Structure 1
Amino acid sequence: MAGGWHFWFGTFTGGVLLTLAALPLAALLVWVLARRRRVAGATPAWRMALAEVGIVYGTAPLVWMIMLPGSQAGAVPGRVSLVPLRDLVTIIAAGPLTATGQVVGNLLVFAALGFLAPMRFAALASVPRVLLLAAGCSVLVEVAQYVLRLDRVSSVDDVLLNAAGAGLAALASRRWWQATAGASPDRARPAPVPGR
């Protein structure tokens, strides 16, 4: 493989290229899951398959990339920033390009989860629940960065931005998940009643 394993699995560029290369596989998986559900009589088959695959496809690569170790990984102790908005101010002071990349990147980490999870799981069909789920997932990532000494700052601002991105994505998909909030997504279609 060109560039070696480190390029493909240890760099942002490699992660982006692998994510793009996996898109046809993700589409095929959606098709297979939806077809199996339709054969079993589950409804709505396509929406549920797309949500399940989309959550993983849209979240796992971004989490992988933010877990990539820095140049001093293992050599420096974990760093923590627990003062809200302190890191954001520092990022903004670094310049508009850096600030935009950092903020947009953090907003996108759990955006697929926020957009699709309410469509797949009726229990998550609420923006506050999506915010709590995304914040919990983000806390786990930040703790892992600290414990694994990845030469990254475990920041409360990352948690806030990750949760905000998921919440905004949930709002964007609200019209699709509100209709399915009261129904179980994998419930089989009821058999027709004779005489009706």
Structure 2
Amino acid sequence: MEPTAPPARRTRRAVLLVPALLAAAAVAFLAQRPLGRRGGWTGWVGTVNGVVFLAAAALPVAVLVVWALARRRRAAGVGAGWARRSALAEVGLVYGTVPWVWMILLPGADPGGPRRRVNLVPLHDIAEVVSAGPPVTAVVQVVGNMLVFAAFGFLAPVRFAALASVWRVLALGAAGSVLVETAQYVLRLDRVSSVDDVLLNAVGAALAALASRRWWRGRAA
């Protein structure tokens, strides 16, 4: 029989989970307010607010999937600790990455048009954003780009021993970003395909891997 978690640990988890779900509900409520003015599904799947709302609303489902996966693996004989950690890492990878990729693949003002904007000069777009707009806007854009693959960088080394390396995470983050930027160009989304986005996405993934290093460094060997 699998040992159950001590009452204090279960209480601590509940104390952490309840505020997270309440915060997700609050974010979903605030995000959906402007969506009523958009017709059809466009407001729900074709706007940043819509993506934020759907991601926040999906948090309880993600928690349920983690619980179900961990329970199934424990029943199959996997240790309780690894069953929980692997399930959390797998669901977190998807939940923490898909909404960001979805948002940066949203079309611009003239999707399908002849204009295709590409910037292959490193740090050009970052310098332009920093010099042209208020500091808050620059910080939001830079940090936002660094968060695109942060969940992948944080959780992939924890789940997969083959990825227990900051350099491998950096390389995969860069590769994923190149695919996204290429998709923006090929699909004519009227967005800028920029090398700076690749740099920020990859660095964000690597920094997240460093942040979780205490949970995977023993597997790197």
**Which residue of structure 2 aligns with residue 5 of structure 1?**
41
**Which residue of structure 1 aligns with residue 90 of structure 2?**
52
Matches within 5 A, 1:22-171: 22-43=58-79, 44-93=82-131, 94-171=133-210
- SS of 1:150's equivalent in the other structure is coil
- SS of 2:210's equivalent in the other structure is helix
Q: What's the offset of the Cα at 1:180?
A: 3.7
Distance 1:169 1:152 in 2: 26
Count of residues in Structure 1 that have an aligned counterpart in Structure 2: 182
Higher relative contact order (CA 8 A, sep 6+): 1
Distance 2:114 2:136 in 1: 27
- SS of 1:70's equivalent in the other structure is coil
Q: What's the offset of the Cα at 1:177?
A: 1.1
Q: What's the offset of the Cα at 1:134?
A: 0.3
- When residues 32 and 60 of structure 1 are mapped into structure 2, their CA distance, relative to the original with a 3 A threshold, is same
- Which is richer in helix? 2
Q: What's the offset of the Cα at 1:95?
A: 2.1
- SS of 1:178's equivalent in the other structure is helix
Large movers: runs of 4+ above 2 Å: 1-4, 179-182
Deviation sequence 1:108-165 (CA, Å, 0-9, x none): 0000000000001100000000000000000000000000010000000000000000
Q: TM-score if structure 1 supplies the norm length?
A: 0.90
Could you tell me which runs of 5 or more consecutive residues in structure 1 were left unpaired when the two chains were aligned: 183-196
